[in-house]
Structure 1
Amino acid sequence: MNVKEQLLDLKPYQPGKPIEEVKKEYGLEKIVKLASNENPYGCSEKAKEAVKNSLNSFAIYPDGYATELREKLAKHLGVDGSQLLFGNGSDDVIHIITTALLAPGKNTVMANPSFSQYKHNAVIEGAEVREVDLIDGHHDLEGMLQRIDENTEIIWVCSPNNPSGVYVDSNSLHHFLKRVPKHVLIVMDEAYYEFAADEKDYPNTVALLDEYTNLLILRTFSKAYGLGGLRVGYAIGNRDFIHKIEPVRQPFNSNRVGQVAAIAALEDQDFIASYVKKNKQGLQQFYRFCEENNLSYYPSFGNFILIDFEQPGDNVFHYLLERGFIVRSGNPLGFPTSVRITVGTEDQNSELIAILTEMLSNQKN
């Protein structure tokens, strides 16, 4: 059987090591996973209760249009329900977008390094991928503009960017949006929106949708809301464009449990505010560690931090793994001497920092 030629050199997405596998491999009883930017505090109790109340509905297919979630989320965002597109996580929405727009002879522009699935899906569709290197962790918006031509279909902006953690400020974004040709879809991936939203110069992208009909915003319930295991992501955009790409969406791509949990989670914004505050305090723990040890890092506006240890990131990853902490080596993320660490609870951060401090001390001796 023949598969698409472009698949032959593609590697499937490599998630972090499962906790049970690490326990078995290293003979450990306690494992702390800080690799996938999950919420270390779990999710809202309201979401848990909603899931419990849905236990008798598992045999029934979900509402493919996610009607109730659509209504609740539209009200929360201040948009019309027809401006929303739901997916099995943001990954699914990215797949929908690329399937709908990309093909051989077309191209897409993105930052490098950034979220891997933009490129992955574009390659599957046979489109040309045009990557523009980050500048000090930031998108080179000018450089990205220069790569656009008449065959460009999508330009991706991840803000805050994964894995560097920095965002595109409001003035820079406005200047950028004005210069992107109308035939190009601008995707603002705001998976970490909740962690940056209170920054004074973080753009209110939803308010820009009326002015820029070629703007599409991605958000998720996987990060701040702590519902990564239930896979609910969504796009906010122009209703006509959403209507055009809707046929690509699989009939039941957001599950019943995820929908009810997301609805309940939306109603507990106190949980989100509390987590965002704790996350900022956790970042300060890592900033102090970096400054005490003269390690370079990007100030992060997500729930993770990328630290340059000036040695192979794989080495640091394995050192921590053997001691019960799963983090993410920067090697596959485009930062070979760095490690990306999810911000955990205060105690988890302290324990991890103590291990890293010991590692650095031993290396000096």
Structure 2
Amino acid sequence: MLAKPGIQTISAYQGGRPVEEVQRELGLSDVIKLASNENPLGPSKRALDAMAEAVASVHHYPDGNAFYLKNAVAAFHGVGPEQLLFGNGSSEVLQILGETYIAPGDHIVYPQQSFVVYPLMAAIFDARTSTPPMRADTYDLGAIATAVTDETKLVLIANPNNPTGTYVTKTQLDAFFDAIPSSPLVVLDEAYFEYVDRDDYPDGLDYLRAGRNVIVTRTFSKAYGLAGLRVGYGIASPEVVEMMNRARPPFNVNSLAQVAALAALEDVEHVTRSREVNAAGMTYLTAALARLGVAYVPSVANFLLVHLRRDGRSVTDALTRRGVIVRPMHAYAYPQSVRVTVGTEAQNQRFIAALAEVLGEIPEAS
């Protein structure tokens, strides 16, 4: 039996290698993972305590409507609970969005070298795509706007972008919305929102409040440290959310994830500390890379795209043998680059020391 045409053209998504896999395959005991943009501080203690208290009830199905979490997040953002849809990570929110709105042949626009799930999503739903190129590792919103037509169904913009860590400003995004038709639904993917500390960075919710046709996606996987539980959400108009709920799988966010996310949301101190550790780590890493003569893309997120002038897979393999897991960027059309997550002080120092060894071991590409 043949799969759908789009499915036949893609490969399965490959995430960062798990620590346990590297330990098992290489016989290493001391391994650090800086590949998947996870919070190096881990989850909030409040989240752990909430799960411990709730674990005895896992024989019950979770609240399919995520009532308490939904109302807390709605209050946190100043929106109505009818504007929220939760998913098994924000990637599932995108999947539900596609199930709801994308028919074969529909037109989707997203930039090249953006979140790798976007082309997978387009292929799964057999959509037509326009993928304007990046300019200096940053979105060219003018080119993206030009690609949008009255027939465009969906536009996907990650801000900040993964894997570059760059962002578009409020002025740029304002001009973009003014330049495109009102009919396409624009996804503002803000997975790294909590890490950004720039005065000109736009809050996607402002566009929703202004009546723009947008859905803003956020996640508990990054700054909140709950990547293993998979909790993300979308915020849109009640009409969009109501339609998406028809396509949402039942009980898609498990009960432990719901109570942990609720507790994490309330632990402002943990998020603040996570931001501080990230800022200090970013300062250290950028200075250390500069001393090594290694180019990188300045980032407002919790990771760096590092340009090595060497095969990224070879560098990744060499670092992995030293117990440091990073992410090669071939899938993002950066074959001579890796992406490294900002870790703890000790993890960052270990990465730099290992990278210095690897750079001396692997010659630059000719």
* TM band (smaller chain): over 0.9
Structure 2 spans left out of the alignment, 5+ residues: none
Q: Which amino acid aligns with 1:58?
A: V
Q: Which amino acid aligns with 2:311?
A: P
Equivalent residue number for residue 103 of structure 2: 103
| Kept after mapping to 1: 8 A contact 2:310/2:362 | no
Equivalent residue number for residue 357 of structure 1: 356
Measure the CA separation in 1 of the matches of 2:157 and 2:118.
10
1:362 CA drift (Å) = 4.6
Change (3 A) 1:290 1:238: same
Equivalent residue number for residue 219 of structure 1: 218
Equivalent residue number for residue 133 of structure 2: 133
Equivalent residue number for residue 294 of structure 2: 295
Equivalent residue number for residue 46 of structure 2: 46
Per-residue displacement from partner, 1:154-195 (whole Å, max 9, x unpaired)?
011101100000111111111111222111001000000000
Q: Which amino acid aligns with 1:11?
A: S
Measure the CA separation in 1 of the matches of 2:179 and 2:157.
14
Equivalent residue number for residue 204 of structure 1: 203
1:6 CA drift (Å) = 1.9
Greater displacement, 241-250 / 87-96: 241-250
Equivalent residue number for residue 275 of structure 2: 276
| Kept after mapping to 2: 8 A contact 1:217/1:236 | yes
Equivalent residue number for residue 229 of structure 1: 228
* Equivalences, count: 364
Greater displacement, 254-263 / 354-363: 354-363
Note the 1:82-231 alignment, pairs <5 A.
82-196=82-196, 198-231=197-230
Q: Which amino acid aligns with 2:150?
A: E
Measure the CA separation in 2 of the matches of 1:2 and 1:350.
49
| Kept after mapping to 2: 8 A contact 1:153/1:185 | yes
Q: Which amino acid aligns with 1:210?
A: R
- Determine if the alignment matches structure 1 residue 241 to structure 2 residue 240: yes
Q: Which amino acid aligns with 1:39?
A: N
TM-score by length of 2: 0.97
Report the RMSD for the aligned CA atoms in angstroms.
Answer: 1.4
| Kept after mapping to 1: 8 A contact 2:295/2:308 | yes
Greater displacement, 300-309 / 99-108: 99-108
Equivalent residue number for residue 61 of structure 1: 61
**What SS does structure 1 have at the residue aligned with 2:251?**
coil
**What SS does structure 2 have at the residue aligned with 1:85?**
strand
Q: Which amino acid aligns with 2:57?
A: S
Measure the CA separation in 1 of the matches of 2:312 and 2:151.
37
Structure 1 spans left out of the alignment, 5+ residues: none
**What SS does structure 1 have at the residue aligned with 2:331?**
coil
| Kept after mapping to 2: 8 A contact 1:213/1:237 | no
Measure the CA separation in 1 of the matches of 2:225 and 2:209.
30
Measure the CA separation in 2 of the matches of 1:106 and 1:250.
23
- Determine if the alignment matches structure 1 residue 251 to structure 2 residue 250: yes
Measure the CA separation in 2 of the matches of 1:43 and 1:250.
26
* Identity rate, percent: 39
**What SS does structure 2 have at the residue aligned with 1:247?**
helix
1:26 CA drift (Å) = 1.6
**What SS does structure 1 have at the residue aligned with 2:283?**
helix
Q: Which amino acid aligns with 2:266?
A: E
Q: Which amino acid aligns with 1:312?
A: D
TM-score by length of 1: 0.97
Measure the CA separation in 2 of the matches of 1:76 and 1:294.
43
Measure the CA separation in 1 of the matches of 2:296 and 2:171.
24
Greater displacement, 206-215 / 323-332: 206-215
Per-residue displacement from partner, 1:200-239 (whole Å, max 9, x unpaired)?
1111221221223311100000000000111110001111
Measure the CA separation in 1 of the matches of 2:206 and 2:144.
23
Runs of 4+ displaced beyond 2 Å: 358-365
Measure the CA separation in 2 of the matches of 1:94 and 1:136.
27
Q: Which amino acid aligns with 2:100?
A: A
| Kept after mapping to 1: 8 A contact 2:116/2:331 | no
Per-residue displacement from partner, 1:90-110 (whole Å, max 9, x unpaired)?
110000111111122211000
